[in-house]
């Protein structure tokens, strides 16, 4: 009961706190690249407006990846982004297994001037939507 009394008495303070938490969440979410659904990624690829960069290790990549995607493992893209220099005019869509590494890689690429987005849910979400994967090596 004291909690609700506090909120009623300090509603301005509580409102400011809620706004600050929302702004922090929004900033963290967008600075690593806006999340895109699998459908949105498909639309970008069909318009030839984006390039998919798969951050998984080469073994996972060979087991199944999005068509025409580049395989630049997370460990490599964090230290060297030169492989992407010819794609600065396109949106870079980062893909990993579940979305755990795309944020950090997105922040790095964003600082270097790339237009970065990330596949929400990673390749697992792509598979859950029954979208096609290509097997074999293409880097």
Tell me the pLDDT tens digit for each residue of 17-55.
999 999 888 776 666 778 899 999 999 999 999 999 999
For residue 73, being part of any structural domain is answered with: yes
68: confidence class by pLDDT, cuts 50, 70, 90: very high
Residues 6 or more apart whose CB falls under 8 angstroms from that of 66 comprise 41, 45, 52, 54, 95, 123, 126, 131, 133, 134
The pLDDT tens digits for 90-136 are 999 999 998 777 888 898 998 899 999 999 889 999 999 999 999 97
pTM score: 0.77
For residue 71, being part of any structural domain is answered with: yes
| Residue 71 parent element (H or E) | strand 70-71
CATH of the domain at 68: 3.40.250.10
| Residue 92 parent element (H or E) | strand 91-95
Residues 87 and 99 in one domain: yes
Residues 51 and 80 in one domain: yes
Domain count, the chain: 2
For residue 136, being part of any structural domain is answered with: no
Residues 51 and 82 in one domain: yes
User: What is the domain range of residue 15?
Assistant: 1-31
Residues 8 and 56 in one domain: no
For residue 134, being part of any structural domain is answered with: no
Residues 124 and 68 in one domain: yes
């Amino acid at each position: 009961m004291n909690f609700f009394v506090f909120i009623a008495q300090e509603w301005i303070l509580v409102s400011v706190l809620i706004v600050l938490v929302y702004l922090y969440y929004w900033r963290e979410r967008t600075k690593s690249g806006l999340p895109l659904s699998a459908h949105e990624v498909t639309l970008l690829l069909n318009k030839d407006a984006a390039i998919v960069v798969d951050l998984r290790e080469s073994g996972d990549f060979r087991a199944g990846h999005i068509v025409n995607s580049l395989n630049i493992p997370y460990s490599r893209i964090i230290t060297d982004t030169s492989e992407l220099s010819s794609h600065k005019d396109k949106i870079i869509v980062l893909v990993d297994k579940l979305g755990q590494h795309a944020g950090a890689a997105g922040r790095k690429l964003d600082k270097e001037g790339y237009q970065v987005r990330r596949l929400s849910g990673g390749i697992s979400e792509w598979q859950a939507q029954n979208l096609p994967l290509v097997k074999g090596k293409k880097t």
